[in-house]
Structure 1
Amino acid sequence: MHCKDVSVRDVDIGLTKENIDLLMKDWKAYKRAEFIVLKNGDDYATLHIEKDDSKDLFSKVSGYEILSLPEGTDYVEDPSIDVLNMPTLASIQDAHPNKTVVIKGMFSHVVFIKDIVPLRLKVIDNVPPSPSKLGVLVDKALATDLIDLPIIVEKEDIDMGKMEPQVTTEAVMFPCKVSGLSSNRPYYFLDEAPTLKHDVTLIGCHLSERIFRSLYNCDVPFINVCPADFTEGKGKCIVKCCKVKEGHIIDGDVVKVPWGATIPEVIDAIRSLFLDE
């Protein structure tokens, strides 16, 4: 629903079915109103209404359905909430299971939500740097209102630093210096193409392994942190993939975007993952 379709009224009666039935007998509503939020102190009830055909600004309510009474209605007030953003509303519904939630958000706009069924999206990405780039891009994409789906994001970070204890060689190599990774043992960064003075284990993706072979003409002990290899059995996922040059690729329940993905590319990828089934 849109906030323009919701009428909010303070009343001085207990919000029981019997009292609401009496209240509605002579109720008139604004021509745009399709829903009513009744408020008595900290108690809320929600209704869906029907009105007589009329060209007047206010019409008599000809029928109504009580959608929730106070015991089934929670209230959330936060001026940062965009009450028209479906992913945001889905997250609120998820935090208030089996409840109708009246929400007062940005610009004091009011809506209520009921029975939203969330769509879960797992964002799998490497860190550091933190926060993960893809996690930030997905958050920004869902905030644009260009994805009108009740998507709830779950983030899974593959921490390359936590892989370092698995290394059994004298030294370790990380993919790039910008990560800021370090180690108590000698360490190198692949993007610097350094001269190696130790036997190393490479922590990286499959492209990193290929680059290492090209640079040093030998194989290397390898700890795989490729996000695409961490998606099995995790439902709908989005990952970055060095094999994708632009746009996105759908692979079952996984959508892959370029390593240098943009917000428009992420928006298109998420929409394709959920809508092009």
Structure 2
Amino acid sequence: MILVMDEPQRVMNRMPVRYREVAVTTVDFPLTEARLRKHFKGREAYRRTGYVVVHLQGSVDVALLQVETASREPLFSPITRVELLAGPDDAAFVHDPQVDLGIPSQLCRAALRDASDTRCVIVHGMYEHVSFIMDAAPITVRLTEVAPPYPPKLLDQARRVLEVAEDLPPIVLEPQIFDLLELSATQPAEQYLLPCRGSGVAPEDSRVYYLDERPPRHDWVLVGCKRSRQIHRHFYGDEPPNVEMCPRDLAEPGQDRILTKCCDIEEGVVQDGPMTVVPWGATLDEVHAGLRQLAAEHERPSG
């Protein structure tokens, strides 16, 4: 009987914990595994070194090695193990001084933008640092929000978080933005009531009032959410015709991960099925926590 062994499962988004683990050197011989192992095994390496980027002199060829040393205690120690993670056929070198290599989403974005067909992308980035990512596969998060104003606040916050978050895996946002004018048009009216002036919405040929100003009661259509309807009942004792504008309710749950917001949540982060929900007036810390929770859900084993 012949046993067929499964190919080891690839670790997606493989990158060093810190880019100081990555050393860079140049050699003058072909970047084959045998030659590289012979050259580096027994040579001294700094105790923090776990990976070596090797350039072929006078060529664009590049390779990535993982190395182990005899000890991490002394400042330098001989290399005892050399593994070729990527050779010239499946490694690419990218120079982009705008990429902060300590931010996984930035590193992944650069790899997919400049070398999407290459398994291992080595990036020379900001501060003259060098790092890498292998098998780049960012988590896709559908972000549901309403607008105007533009840019939609939650989308802008999430983008800013991903530009500085060192503790999050690579994440790509897939915006799903519901336009308030288009929502209003589903119930044509001469007068509309919106929660506040912050949206800047003014449907053409219609009079607009704002709930937070508590105007005299008119024959209007409320463009709002459950909380707006609650406030309307408190102010006026009834519930008018209304158009739903809560992105949490407008989002259609599917298999994808969703980040959205809701004014029913006043602080913190709530998991609602496939949706991670932050408050309507979320802080950047709460948006960060929401993205972290989505990443944790993605990494949790199924079954």
Pairwise same-fold verdict (TM > 0.5): yes
Q: Of 18, 26, 29, which aligns to 1:13?
A: 29
Residue 86 of structure 2: aligned partner = 68
Is contact 2:42-2:80 (8 Å) kept? no
**TM-score (normalizing by structure 2):** 0.78
Residue 4 of structure 2: aligned partner = none
Q: Of 187, 196, 209, which aligns to 1:176?
A: 196
Residue 83 of structure 1: aligned partner = 101
Note the 1:64-213 alignment, pairs <5 A.
64-95=82-113, 96=116, 99-145=119-165, 147-190=167-210, 191-195=212-216, 199-213=219-233
**TM-score (normalizing by structure 1):** 0.85
Give the RMSD, CA atoms, in angstroms: 2.8
Flag structure 2 segments of 5+ consecutive residues without an equivalent.
Answer: 1-15
Secondary structure class of the residue paired with 2:89: helix
Q: Cα–Cα, structure 1 residues 54 and 104, in superposed 2: closer, same or farther, change >3 Å?
A: closer
Partner letter of residue 255 of structure 1?
A: T
Residue 236 of structure 1: aligned partner = 257
Flag structure 1 segments of 5+ consecutive residues without an equivalent.
Answer: none
Q: Measure the CA separation in 1 of the matches of 2:163 and 2:275.
A: 21
Secondary structure class of the residue paired with 2:156: helix
CA-to-aligned-CA distance 1:82-134 (integer Å, 9 cap, x gap): 21222333434555265111012221111111134433322211111111111
Q: Measure the CA separation in 2 of the matches of 1:268 and 1:112.
A: 26
Q: Measure the CA separation in 1 of the matches of 2:289 and 2:21.
A: 30
Residue 66 of structure 2: aligned partner = 48
Identity %: 30
Note the 1:237-256 alignment, pairs <5 A.
237-256=258-277
Q: Measure the CA separation in 2 of the matches of 1:216 and 1:94.
A: 54
- TM-fit CA distance, 1:44: 1.6
Q: Which moved more, 1:225-234 or 1:210-219?
A: 210-219
Q: Which moved more, 1:38-47 or 1:103-112?
A: 38-47
Q: Of 26, 34, 45, which aligns to 1:29?
A: 45
Is contact 2:48-2:72 (8 Å) kept? no
Q: Measure the CA separation in 1 of the matches of 2:295 and 2:168.
A: 11
Q: Measure the CA separation in 2 of the matches of 1:51 and 1:20.
A: 15
